[in-house]
């Protein structure tokens, strides 16, 4: 990022079409179970369900849920070793 000190809330993660879907046509749609569980728990459930399915796309590179989970766990261990999250 050009400005590493920029707050996460200021990052644009949706393109205009995605934003319109979420704030317009999909607004108010109820999804069973959508508000249940933690983000980490829901992610781990998804990893267990479909580990090889694409979780992220970065240009030409596709990252599976299993790969993303491995990277996230590696980062979490590193941060814990540095004393973060205690």
Distance spanning both ends of the chain, measured CA to CA: 27
The DSSP line for 3-64 is -TTS-GGG---S-HHHHHIIIIITTT---TTTT-S-HHHHHHHHHHH-TTSEEEEETTEEEE
Band of pLDDT at residue 86, cut at 50, 70 and 90: low
Supply the pLDDT for residue 10. 74
Closest CA to 52 of 43, 61, 62, 60: 62
pLDDT per residue as tens digits for the range 22-78: 788 777 777 666 667 777 888 999 999 999 999 999 999 999 999 999 999 999 899
Answer with the residue of higher pLDDT: 85 or 15. Answer: 15
Predicted TM-score (pTM) above 0.85:
no
Query: Which residues lie closer than 8 Å to 37 by C-beta, 6 or more apart?
Result: 45
Q: Which tokens belong to 79? A: 């941060």
């Amino acid at each position: 990022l050009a400005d590493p000190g920029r707050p996460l809330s200021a990052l644009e993660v949706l393109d205009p079409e995605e934003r319109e879907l979420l704030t317009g046509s999909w607004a108010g749609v109820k999804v069973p179970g959508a508000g249940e569980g933690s983000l980490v728990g829901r992610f781990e459930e998804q990893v267990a369900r479909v580990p090889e399915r694409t979780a992220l796309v970065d240009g030409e590179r596709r990252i599976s849920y299993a790969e993303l989970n491995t990277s996230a766990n590696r980062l979490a261990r590193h941060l814990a070793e540095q004393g973060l999250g205690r």
